[in-house]
Amino acid sequence: MSIALGAALALALLTGCTDGTTQPPANAPTGTASADEPAPVTPEGTGSPSTAAPTGSGSPASSGAPSASTATESATDAPVSLSRGDERTIGTPGTTVSISCSGGGDIDIETDGTTIDITGGCEDIDIDGDDNTITGESAEALDVEGDGNTATLTSVPDVDVDGRTNVVTVDDTRDIDVDGEDNTVTYSTGDPAVDTEGSNSVAAR
């Protein structure tokens, strides 16, 4: 073999045994995505839940049912009969109530804007609410503690008025006690003992 041929073979062994591609390093990680590859797609149903409100949520639609009554100005309670030892509490505003007292019975008015028509003789009439109108015959005692009430009765031996701007008219009485402000009590007969404080008016008519 000539020297030139031996050199050519040696050069071929050094440069011709590779295919021209660069082999990756032995410790290079495998399975990494190229920057040109698309991002993996999240399988359907595994993403974050939707924040949209479910169908039918929100304020309920009107069912068409009538709303509860809130005003009872025209309401009229059934007539009430009371005897001694009985008690009737009026607690619904704006009502008209007829009460018959047969020798007694207590009436407690604990609401506003009522009209109370009383016949017969009652024991105690207590008015704790405001702007009520009471008319009737007789009672053993009348106690007014609310404001703006009007009471007109025939015979009430004991009248006690607190609160403001109440008007009490009785035909016959024996004792009148008035506190509060701007209350007015008038009577027709009798010589009652009068005890009043504040800017109130007590007079015979």
What pLDDT is recorded for position 111? Answer: 97
Residue 3 domain-assigned (yes or no):
no
Q: How far apart are the first and last CA of the chain?
A: 161
What pLDDT is recorded for position 133? Answer: 98
Q: How far apart are CA 19 and CA 139, in angstroms?
A: 126
Domain that includes residue 176, residue range: 80-204
What pLDDT is recorded for position 46? Answer: 47
What pLDDT is recorded for position 190? Answer: 83
Helix/strand/coil for 13: helix
Mean pLDDT of the chain: 77
Are 180 and 199 in contact by the 8 Å Cβ rule? The answer is no
What pLDDT is recorded for position 175? Answer: 97
Residue 131 domain-assigned (yes or no):
yes
What pLDDT is recorded for position 5? Answer: 53
Are 111 and 90 in contact by the 8 Å Cβ rule? The answer is yes
Residue 34 domain-assigned (yes or no):
no
Q: CA-CA distances (angstroms) from residue 152 to 46, 51, 185? A: 80, 67, 10
73: left (phi over 0), alpha (psi -120 to 50) or beta: alpha
Walking along the chain (205 residues) 10 residues at a time, the average pLDDT comes out as: 52 49 49 48 48 45 40 57 94 96 95 97 97 97 98 97 97 96 95 93 93
Total domains present in the chain: 1
Residue 12 domain-assigned (yes or no):
no
Q: How far apart are CA 112 and CA 18, in angstroms?
A: 109
Cβ–Cβ contacts within 10 Å for residue 139, how many?
A: 29
What pLDDT is recorded for position 11? Answer: 55
